[in-house]
Amino acid sequence: MASFEGRTALITGAGRGQGRSHALRFAERGADLILCDIDSDLDTVPYGLSRRSDLDETVELAEAAGARVMARVADVRDTAALDGLVADGIDSFGKIDIAVANAGIAGISTVAEMSDEAWGNMIDINLSGVFKTLRAVTPHMAGRGYGRMIATSSIVARQGSPNIGHYVAAKWGVLGLVKSLALEMAENGVTVNAVCPTSVDTAMIQNEAFRDLFLPDRDEYTLEDVERAYTELNPIPIPWVQPEDISDAVLFLASDEARFITGEAVPVALGWNARTAA
């Protein structure tokens, strides 16, 4: 298994879920960490986002795994906050080797009924937030001639999906951004890739709004009903993967074993992608 001893990884959205899992897996393999998350909710997101206390807990766990950690509340929509995080991170650890643009939100609405605000928040966080995160580390990585950037897209970025058109559009956009940046960074020793998860067992889907979306005709349902509905999406018949399963792919892309993989989107998707072109 790849070692990340002496490496520094920046991870956005690290307060919980996949971001926390990536942080802990990098920590266990020897990396130091620069982490951020938001500390407030959004009107257009039908479930709560991380709190400062979530991020603090990630820090505690990562430190217990042996990592040095710099963490702060920073919104990926805020260019100054991200640039400051990167600058201070480089001050603390000397460099950033790996950047994981993971922070994201979900929302539910048909395109016909979607508000400007719902669309705007989605694009601002899930697409522009990835752009701002990756841009913030680009000069540093290009200058050092080394870097591994990984963005979290989604398997819905291989198709259309009703009721989450803004999410789908943002995640397709992430792939376009990743591939273009991969071409721009190719001469600089920097690879840029994406992971495309199917449903992941995190707060993003384990909430009432998403359960209602999956079982629209039911007033009452059990967890089993929910699992059955999610399982129908996946050729490998389980409802969702765990955050650690996504970390496996992220760590592979960050390792030396993937040195000649760039501009790629790796689907950790229980075979969903077997039904799509890519």
Ligand X SMILES: NC(=O)c1ccc[n+]([C@@H]2O[C@H](COP(=O)([O-])OP(=O)(O)OC[C@H]3O[C@@H](n4cnc5c(N)ncnc54)[C@H](O)[C@@H]3O)[C@@H](O)[C@H]2O)c1
> By the 8 A CB rule, do 166 and 107 touch?
yes
Interface positions, 47-76, toward other proteins (CB under 8 A): none
Minimum distance from residue 39 beta carbon to ligand X (Å) = 8
The number of residues making up the chain comes to 278
The closest alpha carbon to 196, from 109, 273, 111, 275, belongs to 273
Minimum distance from residue 161 beta carbon to ligand X (Å) = 11
248 interface partner picked from other proteins, ligand X, none, CB below 5 to 8 A per type = other proteins
With contacts defined by CB under 6 A, name the span among 72-80, 142-150, 225-233, 255-263 that binds ligand X: 72-80
CA 191 to chain centre: 17
With contacts defined by CB under 8 A, name the span among 14-22, 52-60, 159-167, 178-186 that binds other proteins: 178-186
Smaller CB separation from ligand X, 124 or 225: 124
With contacts defined by CB under 6 A, name the span among 2-10, 59-67, 82-90, 101-109 that binds ligand X: 101-109
Minimum distance from residue 155 beta carbon to ligand X (Å) = 7
Q: Which residue has the tokens 């080394």?
A: 146
Interhelix angle 52-64/17-28, rounded to 10 degrees, is 20
182 interface partner picked from other proteins, ligand X, none, CB below 5 to 8 A per type = other proteins
Minimum distance from residue 24 beta carbon to other proteins (Å) = 16
CA distances from 275 to 1, 156, 167, 228, 278 (A): 31, 12, 20, 20, 9
Smaller CB separation from ligand X, 182 or 195: 195
Q: Which amino acid is at 35?
A: L
Q: For this structure, is 167 an active site residue? A: yes
CA distances from 70 to 8, 35, 43, 96, 203 (A): 10, 6, 29, 12, 24
Whole-angstrom distance, CA of residue 143 vs CA of residue 189: 10
Neighbours of 56 (CB within 10 A): 12
Residue in 57, 225, 227, 248 binding other proteins, rule: CB under 8 A: 248
Smaller CB separation from ligand X, 94 or 275: 275
Catalytically annotated residues: 167
Contact residues: ligand X, CB under 6 A: 12-13, 15-19, 37-38, 49-50, 75-77, 102-105, 125, 129, 152, 154, 197, 199-200, 202-205
